[in-house]
């Protein structure tokens, strides 16, 4: 049984009005939802004063109301792809469409935002918290119908994930969790596997578009891979981490993966009992990630 009651997602207009009103006048009597944690004479930090479950609720609403853009009826309208010069990155209109809708929900909080398409937003924020947004992790999977993808929103404190929310395409599963929250798919608890023998374990991995190919890095990667029974590459870091969190896979390794690709998945993994390391990669905002069920030695 969950320690938290079911979360009611309010209609968009109600949430937007509450957050906009709070951002403009946090001490207003109309903002009774937040009054218990507000000292009116002082400048308040939204990240410190908004109840955490309300922020999770906001993130859930943002990904849920963005999800219809991925429906089959709009597939042809949103899959126009383009290449990012100087990289192997492939983008599509859908990335910007979903990002714009998510940012409508998050910007009024005043919390800093790191988003894949627009970079750093709300830079004036002095809070150590920030939202990390990937409007569609697995864009190529979506536009070419190759496999799963996910809308991803996380809240981090510094480099530490506080919570993550994923909306998975095409299943529509709503996944969320964090290190102090547990982890859930459609509000059903999930947990990592109990497997310890690498020869019976499945490793998820990928080769990100910014990855620098060289013999040394490939040698290290294959040394890691040969220890495990099965290797899977889904084309979405968020979806891969979710498989470890739910116990279907046991470990995820990927170098130079971007923070927005993994932030929500890592939070959910921790909530499910897993652990990870995420050392800085060779690119700005990239990480070398090893995440597992906390039972496998690397």
Alpha carbons within 13 A on the beta-carbon side of 189: 11
Select the more confidently predicted residue: 150 or 216. Answer: 150
pLDDT in tens, 228-256: 999 999 999 999 999 999 999 999 999 99
Q: At what angle do helices 93-106 and 12-24 cross, to 10 degrees?
A: 60
> Is the domain 12-189 a CATH 3.30.540.10 member?
yes
pLDDT in tens, 46-55: 445 457 889 9
pLDDT of residue 71: 80
pLDDT of residue 259: 96
Taking the C-alpha atoms of residue 273 and residue 155, their distance in angstroms, rounded to an integer, is 18
Burial readout 181-214 (b: 16 or more C-beta within 10 A, e: otherwise): bbbbbeeeebebbebeebeebbbbbbbbebbeee
Q: Where are the domains of the chain?
A: 12-189, 198-292
Q: Are 99 and 133 in contact (CB under 8 A)?
A: yes
pLDDT of residue 80: 61
Taking the C-alpha atoms of residue 254 and residue 259, their distance in angstroms, rounded to an integer, is 12
Question: Is the pLDDT score of 155 beyond 50?
Answer: yes
What average pLDDT score do residues 165-169 get?
98
Select the more confidently predicted residue: 216 or 84. Answer: 216
What average pLDDT score do residues 284-298 get?
93
Query: What pLDDT band is residue 218 in, cutting at 50, 70 and 90?
Result: confident
Range with the poorest average pLDDT among 16-25, 90-99, 226-235 = 16-25
pLDDT of residue 84: 62
Q: Could you tell me which of 139, 153, 136 has the C-alpha nearest to residue 61?
A: 153
Question: Is the pLDDT score of 43 beyond 70?
Answer: no
Compute the radius of gyration of the chain from its Cα atoms: 19
Range with the poorest average pLDDT among 1-10, 108-117, 189-198 = 1-10
pLDDT of residue 87: 63
What is the fold, at CATH topology level, of the domain defined by 198-292? D-Maltodextrin-Binding Protein; domain 2 (3.40.190)
pLDDT in tens, 100-109: 999 999 999 8
Taking the C-alpha atoms of residue 169 and residue 141, their distance in angstroms, rounded to an integer, is 10
Contacts 24+ apart (CB under 8 A), 117-122: none
Mean pLDDT of the chain: 81
Q: Could you tell me which of 249, 226, 227 has the C-alpha nearest to residue 237?
A: 249
Query: What pLDDT band is residue 119 in, cutting at 50, 70 and 90?
Result: confident
- List alpha helices for the chain, DSSP H: 12-24, 46-49, 52-66, 75-78, 93-106, 139-143, 215-225, 237-245, 259-271
Question: Is the pLDDT score of 264 beyond 90?
Answer: yes
Taking the C-alpha atoms of residue 43 and residue 40, their distance in angstroms, rounded to an integer, is 8
pLDDT of residue 4: 31
- DSSP-derived 3-state class of residue 58: helix
pLDDT of residue 78: 55
Taking the C-alpha atoms of residue 109 and residue 113, their distance in angstroms, rounded to an integer, is 10
User: How many CB atoms lie under 10 A from the CB of residue 244?
Assistant: 27
Q: Token pair of 88, please?
A: 């192997």
What backbone phi and psi angles, to 5 degrees, belong to 269? -60, -45
């Amino acid at each position: 049984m969950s320690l938290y009651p079911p979360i009611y997602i309010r209609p968009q207009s109600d949430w937007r009005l509450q957050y906009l009103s709070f951002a403009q006048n946090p001490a207003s009597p109309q903002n009774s939802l937040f009054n218990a944690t507000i000292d009116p004479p002082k400048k308040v930090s939204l990240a410190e004063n908004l109840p955490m479950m309300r922020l999770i609720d906001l993130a859930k609403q943002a990904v849920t109301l963005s999800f219809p853009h991925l429906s089959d009826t709009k597939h042809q309208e949103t899959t126009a792809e383009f290449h990012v010069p100087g990289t192997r990155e492939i983008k599509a209109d859908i990335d910007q469409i979903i990002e714009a809708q998510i940012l409508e929900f998050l910007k009024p909080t005043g919390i800093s935002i790191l988003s894949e398409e627009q970079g750093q937003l709300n830079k004036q924020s002095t809070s150590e918290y920030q939202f990390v947004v990937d409007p569609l992790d697995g864009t190529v999977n979506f536009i070419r119908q190759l496999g799963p993808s996910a809308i991803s929103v996380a809240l981090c404190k510094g480099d530490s994930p506080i919570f993550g929310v994923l909306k998975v395409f095409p299943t529509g599963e709503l996944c969320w969790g964090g290190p102090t929250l547990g982890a859930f798919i459609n509000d059903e608890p999930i947990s990592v596997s109990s497997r310890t023998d690498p020869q019976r374990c499945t490793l998820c991995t990928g080769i990100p578009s910014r990855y620098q190919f060289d013999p040394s890095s490939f040698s290290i990667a294959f040394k890691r891979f040969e220890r495990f029974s099965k290797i899977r590459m889904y084309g979405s870091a968020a979806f891969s981490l979710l498989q470890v969190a739910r116990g279907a896979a046991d470990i995820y390794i990927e170098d130079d993966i971007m923070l927005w690709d993994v932030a929500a998945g890592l939070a959910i993994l921790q909530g499910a009992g897993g652990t990870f390391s995420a050392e800085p990669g060779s690119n700005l905002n990239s990480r070398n990630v090893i995440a597992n069920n906390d039972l496998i030695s690397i």
